[in-house]
Structure 1
Amino acid sequence: MYFPTAGIETALWLPPVVAFAISFFTSMGGVSGAFLLLPFQMSFLGYAHPSVSATNQLFNIVAIPSGVYRYVKEGRMVWPLTWMVIVGTLPGVLIGAVVRVAWLPDPRDFKLFVGLVMLYIGARMVKSLFFSSADKDAAAANEKRFQAMARRQGRQDADSPAPSVRVLSFTVKHLSYSFYEETYTVSTIGIFSLCFIVGIVGGIYGIGGGSIVAPFFISFWKLPVYTVAGAALMGTFVTSVAGVAFYQVLAPFYPTMSVAPDWMLGLLFGLGGMGGMYLGARCQKFVPSKYIKLFLVAVLLYTGIKYTVDFLR
């Protein structure tokens, strides 16, 4: 099938199948899968126009709600954190869209940007896998209890919820919540600042911003992946809606450039991602966080190194 906006031709079944496979694994870490779909579109499909960023965000809009639904149903949505992600990343995403169209329309330059972003996030996650032994032992013991309960609930009822999140306090200075006998506290100002910066990066990249936030929450603030995934996905969804609308508005100002999303291709990716995210969110409580992190790190570093090397050749 030929997709005129993207200027590519591919089998009709390929986009949803690829999106399903990617989203199943990435949704466990609070990442929509868009950050991996973009390299797939650029390298495999040959779709490198600025509109690929908007198409990626369209995928988020269609795919993410199913995963968020599972996290809400299981009581693992930290709503104050969710709203901070949305409010912080939204203006950054709009700024990023302008930067992408005005200063990074060349595929080669954009690949370098993507590669450097992936390398940085991957490096941060590698560091998070080797934090102090005391924290590591405490986290391991806590996760062992969590996994044991998840397995017991799984044997009783596949839809039974994992231990839910309880917000203890939310002020202009900090957010504090508990999850399975552990308390986590983060700076409200710090979260807002981070979300604004990664929102710009996410707007340029075409992944909404929330997907980049999740690895930072895990590596900087040592928050458990089981509690940040839902907030990151919800933030990505809302900012992606704004991003797609903004790219569509920008399109008439760049008549010689493909800026608006390829709606058919984005919908096909989104339908596959919808199924993958739902199953990934449902299975997350049975998968040790170490394996989720290792998967994300491997993909980030491989893609980041490949794109950086390609630019330097």
Structure 2
Amino acid sequence: MYFPAAGIEVNPLVPPLVALVISFVTSMGGVSGAFLLLPFQMSVLGYVNPSVSSTNQLYNIVAIPSGVWRFVREGRMVWPLTWVVVLGTLPGVLIGAVVRVTWLPDPGSFKAFAAFVLLYVGGRMAWDLWKRKAPAKPAPTAQDPKAKADCQGPKGAGLVHVTAFTLSRLAYEFQGESYCVKTTGIFGLSFLVGIVGGIYGIGGGAIIAPFFVAFYGLPVHTVAGAALMGTFVTSVAGVAFYQAIAPFYPNLSVAPDYTLGVLFGLGGMCGMYLGARCQKHVPAKLIKGMLAVLIVLLALRYLKEALF
């Protein structure tokens, strides 16, 4: 089957099957899998037009809702965290889209950028695994009784119970533990991540989820839903923006390949639902270890292709 916007020909069964496998594994950590689909499209399918970024975001739009619904159903969505991520990431994604088509339309330059993004993601996962060899540190809550009481509150019916949400801090309980983060810090991080995610076409979830776990000490079982939901909303804006600016770049393929994106998304939809459902039963360390190795190898390959 020929995909005109992508300029490639591929069996229509390949995209959904590949997306299903990738999203099943990555969704357990709150990542849509788009950061691995993009290398597959570029290196295996030969899809190197700027529209590969918007096609990747279209995949997110179709695939993510099933995973988010599963997290919501199980009571593991931290909604205040989700909306802070969305508000911070959204303007960054739009800036990133402009950067992509204006300064990184060349495949070589984009591969160099992609290599550094992948190196970061793989490095963060490897660092998080190395740190967790030591005894787990307490959550980033204050140790004095007054601050501890400030973070705690009555438990709700779900697994996650928000105890405080202001412009300065967000606090919630999960499985008997209390967690506190600075709202402004989450917002600023989300904005920077949005720019990188908008350029790369991943929405930012693959970058921000490791930050939440490694730097803020938040449990991956609560971060996953927020990261996926944030990625979904920003991907909607990203696809709309790429489509809107496409007429201003008549010599470039900027708008997404809708057929290819939907095929990827349908496979991702099934994979994310299964991944969200199986997350509690699969060791996170094993998944992160395999992903870290794969990501670093892909990054080194891209860096070699870009430089040599």
User: Normalised by the size of structure 1, how large is the TM-score?
Assistant: 0.89
Matches within 5 A, 1:212-231: 212-231=207-226
Q: Give the equivalent residue in structure 1 for 2:89.
A: 89
For residues 6 and 165 of structure 2, the distance between their equivalents in structure 1, rounded to whole angstroms, comes to: 44
- Is the aligned partner of 1:236 residue 2:231? yes
Structure 2, unpaired ranges of 5+: 140-156
- How many Å separate the matches in 2 of 1:36 and 1:241? 19
Cα distance in 1 for partners of 2:221, 2:109 equals: 35
Taking a change above 3 Å as real, the CA distance of residues 132 and 52 of structure 1, as seen in their structure-2 partners, is: closer
Map residues 23-38 of structure 1 onto 2, 5 A cutoff.
23-38=23-38
Among 178, 183, 208, the residue aligned to 2:178: 183
Deviates more, 1:116-125 or 1:86-95: 116-125
Match of 1:172 in 2: 167
User: Matches of residues 228-307 of structure 1 in structure 2 within 5 Å?
Assistant: 228-307=223-302
Moved more, 303-312 or 7-16: 303-312
Partner residue of 2:100?
Answer: 100
1:105 corresponds to which letter in structure 2?
Answer: P
Q: What do the CA deviations read for 1:223-275 (whole angstroms, capped 9, x no partner)? A: 11111000000000000000000000010001111000000000100000000
Q: Are residues 137 and 98 of structure 1, via their aligned partners in 2, closer, same or farther at CA, if it must alter by over 3 Å?
A: closer
Question: RMSD across aligned C-alpha pairs, in angstroms?
Answer: 1.6
Give how far 1:135 is off.
Answer: 4.6
Opposite residue 58 of structure 1, the aligned amino acid is L
**Per the alignment, in what secondary structure is the counterpart of residue 222 of structure 1?**
coil
Say which is worse superposed, 268-277 or 170-179, in terms of deviation.
Answer: 170-179
Which stretch has the larger CA shift, 169-178 or 270-279? 169-178
What TM-score results when the alignment is normalised by the length of structure 2? 0.91
DSSP-derived class of the 2:232 partner: helix
Q: Which residue of 2 aligns with 1:50?
A: 50
SS of corresponding position for 1:130: helix
Matched AA of 1:312: L
CA distance in 2, matches of 1:99, 1:181: 44
**Is the deviation greater in 88-97 or in 163-172?**
163-172
SS at match of 2:275: helix
Amino acid at match of 1:304: A
1:132: Cα distance to partner? Answer: 7.1
Matched residue of 2:253: which SS? coil
Q: For residue 133 of structure 1, report the CA deviation from its aligned partner.
A: 6.7
Deviations 1:142-197 (A, max 9, x none): xxxxxxxxxxxxxxxxxxxx971111111111111111121111111111110000
Q: 1 CA distance for matches of 2:134 and 2:57?
A: 40
- Whether the 8 Å contact between 1:84 and 1:191 is mirrored in structure 2 is yes
Distance in 2 (CA, whole Å) between partners of 1:135 and 1:173 is 30
Q: Which AA in structure 1 matches 2:32? A: S
Closer/same/farther in 2, CA of residues 169 and 137 from structure 1, 3 Å limit: closer
Pairs within 5 Å for 1:8-27: 8-27=8-27
C-alpha separation in 1, matches of 2:138 and 2:103: 46
> Hey, what does 1:59 align to over in structure 2?
59
Residues in 1 aligned to 2:184 and 2:56: alpha-carbon distance in whole angstroms: 29
The share of aligned pairs that are identical, in percent, is: 67
CA distance change for structure 1 residues 115 and 269 in 2, over 3 Å: closer, same or farther? same
Structure with bigger helix share is: 1
* Alignment partner, residue 68 of structure 2: 68
Work out the CA distance in 1 between the residues paired with 2:56 and 2:126: 26
